[in-house]
Amino acid sequence: MTPSDVKATLSFSDGSPSMDLPLYKGNIGPDVIDIRKLYGQTGKFTYDPGFLSTASCNSTITYIDGDKGELLYRGYPIEQLAKNCDFLETCHLLLYGDLPDAAQRVDFTARVSNHTMVHEQMQFFLRGFRRDAHPMAIMTGLVGALSAFYHDSTDINNPEHREIAAIRLIAKMPTLVAMAYKYTCGQPYMYPKNKLSYSANFMQMMFANPCEEYVQNDVLVRAMDRIFILHADHEQNASTSTVRLCGSSGTNPFAAIAAGVACLWGPAHGGANEACLNMLGDIQKMGGVEKIGEFIKQVKDKNSNVKLMGFGHRVYKNYDPRATLMRETCHEVLGALGLHDDPLFKLAMALEKIALEDDYFVSRKLYPNVDFYSGIVQRAIGIPVPLFTAVFALARTVGWIAQLNEMIGDPEYKIGRPRQLYVGAAQRNVLPIAQR
């Protein structure tokens, strides 16, 4: 963080004393105005609900340029990572700051493979849920429950403990997501097979069963791996900010990640891929492509509360580079499965075309985001719609834990404690009930 030689001067029209605020420059991206001394010197807070203009931290992990549609993990463009690396290499990059060399890749893969099983007791947490429980309700419970198995052995101020917690979470999320799926469909759990790659292991835990040999489809395994890479981290989004704030109290890393899972579930965030597929299904029921105009009319009607799910983004005011890559994967997967005539995919392509030509969306800079196509790919792979966000949580776990460890590893970090603008009742006295 480099101090800028430019200062910001804050002055007040009522003649209150002005104050100089230092600016800091990042390596790329917007400068920041350091307001840490503002309240102490002026007795005033800044006000920024939704944090549209607020940097909550400094970070070296992920950079997004919303205007250029750029996404870098530790400086590497997402397009290059998606084409040249696999998810575990990307995990190594996000956790340690660089892509592994051949020896590091073997070592990291072995370390993750050694932690893919969960404690046998975990099965009993699942039994408490109804079979039709939403997978994200199950995942919020299971990830939080991991705290119970490691709480006594996790001192978050110990870098080695932080590292093993990261490895455990990355390794166990596929096992837990697959268990959540098997539980809801009444099939036996499949144990991890550590000789398989990370994504192939997830696919066999999801789709294999004890009665027959499971044959991997390499195109689908590669597509799953790419979905994980594209969802791995994304700067200070809502769930990552939740993990940071939760972790800033010094809580167990498993509990902090469980908070991230809960936040990601929301349809405005990670739940958008499920909501997008449901939206496409609704348009299909309305009559398909011919009814897109009618649906778009609903979206434009503010009273309808209908949004075009999978469109829009707080940061990307141009295209989401992940959506472009996900659309490519869509073509590959549907082509490999002979599903190019998949009606939902054709509906999605038609909807995207119409929306991109409609001034309502263009003027609001609403473009397809990563969730618009990820649902169609996951559905083609065979992932049930309610499980889409759990798959997103699986992939985002490495980003959450990398960001959490970066924060905890910063000796300057403090517990996060925002203030407010109070607009409630001034002090008043309690009256006896007979006088209320």
Residues assigned a catalytic role:
313, 371
Query: Which two structure tokens, joined as six digits, stand for 138?
Result: 């199950």
Closer residue to ligand SDX (CB): 184 or 241? 241
Q: How far is the CB of 353 from ligand SDX (least distance, A)?
A: 16
| Residue nearest ligand SDX by beta-carbon distance | 312
Say whether residue 234 binds ligand SDX (CB under 6 A): yes
Contact 175, 274 (CB under 8 A): no
Q: Of residues 135, 141, 174, 310, which one binds ligand SDX by CB under 6 A?
A: 310
Task: Candidates 104-112, 282-290, 313-321, 428-436: pick the segment binding ligand SDX (CB under 6 A).
Answer: 313-321
Say whether residue 346 binds ligand SDX (CB under 6 A): no
Q: How far is the CB of 29 from ligand SDX (least distance, A)?
A: 15
Phi/psi of residue 164, nearest 5 degrees: -70, -30
- Convert 362-376 to b/e letters by CB count within 10 Å (16 or more is b): eeeebbbbbbbbbbb
Q: How far is the CB of 388 from ligand SDX (least distance, A)?
A: 12
Contact 87, 228 (CB under 8 A): yes
Contact 213, 185 (CB under 8 A): no
Q: How far is the CB of 101 from ligand SDX (least distance, A)?
A: 28
Closer residue to ligand SDX (CB): 175 or 236? 236
- Which strands, in side-by-side order, build the sheet including 32-33? 2-10, 19-25, 32-33
Tell me the residue type at 117: M
Closer residue to ligand SDX (CB): 134 or 234? 234
Q: How far is the CB of 148 from ligand SDX (least distance, A)?
A: 28
Task: Candidates 80-88, 167-175, 266-274, 279-287: pick the segment binding ligand SDX (CB under 6 A).
Answer: 266-274
CA 175 to CA 181: how far, in whole Å? 10
Applying CB under 6 A, what is the total number of residues that bind ligand SDX? Answer: 21
Say whether residue 230 binds ligand SDX (CB under 6 A): no
Task: Candidates 90-98, 159-167, 265-273, 404-412: pick the segment binding ligand SDX (CB under 6 A).
Answer: 265-273
Binding mask 89-128 for ligand SDX (x = CB under 6 A): ----------------------------------------
Tell me the residue type at 393: A
Say whether residue 237 binds ligand SDX (CB under 6 A): yes
Task: Candidates 128-136, 144-152, 207-215, 311-319: pick the segment binding ligand SDX (CB under 6 A).
Answer: 311-319
Say whether residue 314 binds ligand SDX (CB under 6 A): yes
- Convert 424-434 to b/e letters by CB count within 10 Å (16 or more is b): eeeeeeeeeee
Q: How far is the CB of 425 from ligand SDX (least distance, A)?
A: 30
Closer residue to ligand SDX (CB): 145 or 391? 391
Task: Candidates 27-35, 250-258, 282-290, 308-316: pick the segment binding ligand SDX (CB under 6 A).
Answer: 308-316
Instruction: Note the residue count of the chain.
Output: 436
Closer residue to ligand SDX (CB): 145 or 326? 326
Binding mask 354-373 for ligand SDX (x = CB under 6 A): ----------x-x--xxx--
Contact 78, 71 (CB under 8 A): yes
Q: How far is the CB of 18 from ligand SDX (least distance, A)?
A: 32
Contact 276, 310 (CB under 8 A): yes
Closer residue to ligand SDX (CB): 309 or 383? 309
CA 394 to CA 382: how far, in whole Å? 17
Closer residue to ligand SDX (CB): 22 or 416? 416
Q: Interface with ligand SDX by CB under 6 A: which residues?
A: 234, 237, 268-270, 272, 299, 307-315, 364, 366, 369-371
